[in-house]
Amino acid sequence: MICRNCEHAAFAFNPNRPTWVSPQVPYLFWNLFRYAMNCVGIYFLVNNELPDRTDLLSSVTRYNLFLIGYHTLVTVPVALQSVIGLMRSVMALTKKRERDLVTKEIFFHLLYKEFFRSVLAGGLACVCLGLLPRMIWDTQQKKLAGALCLVAYSLSNSLYSFSCFAAVRMLKLTAGGVVVPIYGSSGSSPASAEMKRGRQAVARGSGKAKIRSSSAKGRSRSRSKSKGR
């Protein structure tokens, strides 16, 4: 799973990027690291006592410090993951667009989709995480708050993906679908068309080499016959 999964092989056989690499691996490690930080942040969340009126200054200071620790370990990593994920998606799509691997329609479709994923899914998760201290203050539901702290981003991301799926299905039923020409009129994508052109060029080159070799053999045979005569 870490060193030799199927995505390693897929990238290695990709003619546009023949490298033995899998983006799933750093994504997995980052999520494990984020979950570890969330677990530490849950400690600050559930053990943050309400300010005591008898010792208001010290209790308020302790409450604010625990609150800062919670947001630093939980809310900030989720916000950074949303922003960094959007930046990486934009850079990858821009490179593919410059190399003419995706059409203009596909480029903007995926760009808008990832932008709203970052804004809506990441924003919803940050709002939920930001309201958890108030939820504990009002309801004292510490176990529920800890569970939401772990699954808020994954849940919001899943809800966004499901909403996109439902929107596409609705548009398909009402308006015939979303006009995103992933495949051209010939039935092949730009990347596969480029690969096909490369294979045709290689075939033409090998054909020319065969013609040259056959002509060279013919010349050598004619020379040998002339020498014999």
Q: 3-state DSSP call for residue 225?
A: helix
Among the residue ranges 1-5, 39-43, 191-195, the one predicted with the least confidence is: 191-195
Q: Which of 217, 203, 121 is nearest to 164 (CA)?
A: 121
Question: Residue 128 and residue 155: Cα distance in Å, rounded?
Answer: 11
Answer for the pair 159, 84: CB distance below 8 angstroms, yes or no: no
Q: Which of 109, 136, 138 is nearest to 41 (CA)?
A: 136
Token code pair at residue 30: 């980052």
Please report, rounded to a whole number, the percentage of residues in the chain having pLDDT higher than 70.
Answer: 74
Question: Residue 85 and residue 116: Cα distance in Å, rounded?
Answer: 12
Question: Residue 8 and residue 16: Cα distance in Å, rounded?
Answer: 14
Query: Does residue 194 surpass a pLDDT of 70?
Result: no
What dihedral angle (degrees, nearest 10) is formed by the CA atoms of 9, 15, 20, 25?
-70
Query: Does residue 115 surpass a pLDDT of 50?
Result: yes
With a CB cutoff of 8 Å and minimum separation 6, the contacts of 48 are 62, 63, 66, 67, 70, 133, 136
The pair phi, psi for residue 206, each rounded to 5°, is -70, -35
User: pTM for the whole thing?
Assistant: 0.66
Q: What is the mean pLDDT of residues 91-117?
A: 88
Q: What is the mean pLDDT of the chain?
A: 78
Q: What is the mean pLDDT of residues 25-45?
A: 89
Tell me the pLDDT band of 164, cut-offs 50, 70 and 90.
confident
The pLDDT value given to residue 184:
43
Token code pair at residue 29: 């490690």
The pLDDT value given to residue 201:
47
The pLDDT value given to residue 75:
93
